[in-house]
Amino acid sequence: MDVHFVLLPDSLILDWAGPAEALRIANQVLCAQGGSPAFAMHFVGPQTETSTSVGARMAELSPLPSASQLADAAACQWIVLVGQPGRTMDLDGPPARSVLHWLRGLRLAAGRLELVCICAGAVIAARAGLLAGRRATTHHQHLEELRQAEPGCEVVANRVFVEDGPVYSSAGVTTGVDLMLHRMAARCGEAVVAQVAQTMVVALRRGPHDPELSPFLQHRAHLHAALHRVQDAVAQRPSEAWNVPRMAAVAHVSPRHLTRLFVEHAGIAPLQYLRGLRLASAEAALQSGGNVTQAAAQAGFSSDAQLRRTWKQLGKPQTPSRRRRQSAQAPTQD
């Protein structure tokens, strides 16, 4: 998929460089696993050369892609808007007016053309009329500016990021990395995103009202390289015949020492961690339409009974069979 970073004069460099690095590392992880890069990054703007917030200049920027180019693309496209230094956005000059005119011609659609607003990038989207009737957030210094730019937008404060259909917005600067990791999880899977976050040495987090982190992302807020290596291997292939000695071999430590590492750094025992991943895999299989037997086999459980037993032991609501029925009855979204 294509990711278009729209750069105006004096764009905040961390707003776009951090998320771009996350995408680059994700491509690196996917290639290391024998796959192909998932993201093609494009740095675009109304000018071929522009300044950044720290004085470094960006040259050879690509032109803003046309609305027809974006609409005809085979894969989903992301448009990334970023902020500028200062308490207000300077959107009155010719470059900004060109970007606003271009944005007004876009037709956003989930899964086709999505908007990612980092920091005060939400103000640009609001000025272009793309946030009317939507919920969004921005840096705390720009909340009132966002309200004034689009009175029809429900401005949400004190959130890491907000998602509303094809529009995603983050609170500012480093939270752009949080938002990009969240979006990447939908495209690449949470196991890949966990490796990206570990490489970048950032904590995986979500907004205070978002769902709890999935088991693929939990227990990763540590810096122990060998333990991350084990967690990566197990998360990529949770259905394989893992036991503590095999995990210890990945870390190049003894089984007893691996157990100590898990408890000390991840706060959980190795096999308990594995059970959580397998349960998450089984739940995903049920939500995709598989029956209980299929879900158990795909996740690495030895039987339906073992899946049901683990489901109950880990406190999951309902039962696997009922979860499958609920998923089958859930209305589809366009």
pLDDT digits (tens, 9 = 90+) for 102-153: 999 999 999 999 999 999 999 999 999 999 999 999 998 899 999 999 999 9
> Same structural domain for residues 273 and 170?
no
Global pTM value: 0.74
> Same structural domain for residues 176 and 273?
no
Domain membership of residue 199 (yes or no) is no
> Pairing between strand 113-117 and 77-81?
parallel
Q: Which of 191, 225, 246 is the last residue of a domain?
A: 191
pLDDT in tens, 158-174: 788 999 999 999 987 78
SS3 at position 116: strand
CA angle 186, 72, 331 (to 5 degrees): 45
Q: How high is the mean pLDDT of the chain?
A: 90
State the residue range of the domain holding 97: 2-191
Q: Is 79 exposed, middle or buried (0-12, 13-18, 19+ CB in 10 A)?
A: buried
Q: Which of 160, 191, 222 is the last residue of a domain?
A: 191
Q: For 282, left (φ over 0), alpha (ψ -120 to 50), or beta?
A: alpha
> Same structural domain for residues 131 and 252?
no
Distances (CA, A) of 192 to 28, 109, 259, 327: 10, 25, 24, 25
Q: How far apart are CA 282 and CA 299, in angstroms?
A: 5
Question: Mean of the pLDDT values across residues 72-94?
Answer: 93
What one-character-per-residue DSSP string does 61-83 give? PBPPPPHHHHHH-SS-EEEEE--
Domain membership of residue 256 (yes or no) is yes
Question: Mean of the pLDDT values across residues 4-29?
Answer: 96
Domain membership of residue 196 (yes or no) is no
Question: Mean of the pLDDT values across residues 243-256?
Answer: 97
Give the CATH number, domain containing residue 125: 3.40.50.880
* Total number of domains in the chain: 2
